[in-house]
Amino acid sequence: MSYPGYPPSGYPGFPGYPPTGQESAYPPAGQYPYPAVPGAFPPMGGSAYPGAPPSSGFPGVAGYPAPGGYPVPGGYPGAPQPGGMPSYPRVPTGPGFGVPAAGSGFGGYPQPPAQSYGGGVPAQIPGGYPSGQVPSPMPSQPAAMTQSYQGTIQAAPNFDAGKDAEILRKAMKGFGTDEKAIIDVVAHRSSDQRQKIKAAFKTMYGKDLIKDLKSELSGNVEELILALFMPRTYYDAWSLYHAMKGAGTQERVLIEILCTRTNQEIRDIVRCYKTEFGRDIEKDIRADTSGHFERLLISMCQGNRDENQNVDYQKAQEDAQRLYQAGEGKLGTDESCFNMVLATRSFPQLKATAEVYAKIANRDLLSSIDREFSGNVERGLKAILQCALNRPAFFAERLYHSMKGAGTDDSTLIRIIVTRSEIDLVQIKQMFTQLYQKTLATMIASDTSDLSKVQQSAMDFLPIEEACRRDVQVITYTEGQLSQKHDGFSSVGSGCFPYHIK
């Protein structure tokens, strides 16, 4: 079924950068490999959020440990939809992708490239279980897949932080500002390299690069450049803080961050939120949301989702039956049951549950959530399931609706492109083309907004052809590797950001 669009809304401007005098020991964000699996969802809503007043900005970022990737999800094969539900065309396979396209998705949602078991066992051919029965539970049944993800930005070869610092200094010196020179440098360096440029700039000139950039740039170009210099955990915490600060709440930002991060990332965000803004994120959520949506977000803040990548097929059948009896199979809805299952099960397990549910209910789980819920809790539950089914498609649709209609939600466009540029923007672009029959670059270029500089900056992140010519590194992680990778906020301790946004 089709879903209504939502009006794009603004996002608060970046606060003023604080006085210098203390550098943070927080390392730069690293690469995040994320899984791709299928699902369909409606555009997100949420009220517009007024611009935040100028304040003391964000801190230094030297030495920030690389954040962790998402656990690689499930080897649960896609099944054809009951009742003649339409399937989406196959995902194009780009250079470095190395896997064939899979079959139909859930409720018309595109399916990501087919995966293969890390141990060489081929994935089950879509088509469901023999005689409609779920296999008996198999201890240690491998569901963790090896999936490749690509960012369009990678570390620049022959990198020279001092030379880049000199270019930025010249671009800001004298009358006027060479914004193109700034963008050419910043948009083509990895997050780690940007932190080294920042440190080199202070060493060479005794000045704070971020303060200089703020004095020379303005509007959305300023927001974009400052976002590129933010560590990932701080950027997430900053975004959540401003989504709830003042009058109104940007619920879609809360959903986008809290419903898509790993356990470790969420724990790091919660600690960073407390350290940097002196506030308890749970208290702020309770003050700004209510009802079942509030409960869902509080569940997400715990960072306690099961991250075991093995699928328990018996549990999938039990959960599918439980969800059916809590919704479609009764008068009224047991919201707590949906919250419990979607907030605690691993993404591979949720994918398996969704496939079994389609056989039981003769309707996909996303459609049932749409029928049983409304408002923000509906969007939150769907976001979780969408990430279990196809994470790149989730972000592709968020990007589409940031540009659809009159005006552009520039903050959402900036936030997603910046945060995914080193993770899976190649796959997001492919899903965008598949869903909307136009490339992401084309839609950015054709948008009616007059923010040509922001658009051109975003374009620097996008070309897959250029990325492939530059031999973009394909990051592939196993569950064992992922369990050792995380943002590392706890290892840094409190006080890693000396500056606070008042």
pTM for this entry:
0.66
Q: pLDDT tens-digit profile of 100-118?
A: 333 344 555 566 554 433 3
Percent with pLDDT over 90 in the chain = 49
160 contact partners, CB below 8 Å, separation of at least 6? none
* Both tokens assigned to 494: 């409190």
The reply to whether 129 falls in a domain is no
CA–CA separation, 314 and 318 (whole Å)? 6
Q: pLDDT at residue 438 above 60? A: yes
Is the alpha carbon torsion for 89, 419, 307, 288 positive or negative?
negative
Backbone angles phi, psi at 155, to 5 degrees: -60, 130
- Whether 137 maps to a domain, the answer reads no
Residue 309 lies in a domain: yes
**Residues 364, 365, 368, 372: what is their CA dihedral angle, to the nearest 10 degrees?**
180
Average pLDDT score, the chain: 72
SS3 63: coil
Whether the CB-CB separation of 259 and 300 falls below 8 Å is answered with: yes
Distance CA 455, CA 61 (A): 26
Considering only residues 337 and 180, tell me which one the structure prediction assigns the higher pLDDT. Answer: 337
Distances 299 to 318, 335, 342, 384 between C-alpha atoms, Å = 21, 13, 10, 12
Which among 363, 347, 255, 338 has a CA at the least distance from the CA of 301? 255
Number of domains in the chain: 1
pLDDT tens across 276-330, in order? Answer: 999 999 999 999 999 999 999 999 999 999 999 999 999 999 999 999 999 999 9
- Domain contains 151: yes
Q: How confident is the model at residue 169, as a pLDDT?
A: 97
Res 232: pLDDT: 85
Query: C-alpha 476: how far from its chain's center?
Result: 18
Asked if residue 256 has pLDDT above 60, the reply is: yes
Unique residue bearing structure tokens 């897949």? 145
Q: How far is CA 95 from CA 87, 131, 426, in A?
A: 24, 38, 10
Domain-embedded: residue 168? yes
Domain that holds residue 175: 10-120+142-502
Least confident of 105-109, 200-204, 385-389, 439-443: 105-109
169 vs 103, higher pLDDT: 169
Q: How confident is the model at residue 113, as a pLDDT? A: 53
For residues 189-202, give the mean pLDDT: 95
Q: What is the CA radius of gyration of the chain?
A: 22
Query: Tell me: the pLDDT tens digits for 444-474?
Result: 887 644 444 455 555 555 543 333 333 333 3
DSSP 297-365: HHHHHT-------S--HHHHHHHHHHHHHHTTTSSS--HHHHHHHHHHS-HHHHHHHHHHHHHHHSS-H
**Any domain includes 240:** yes
Q: Residue 376 pLDDT more than 80?
A: yes
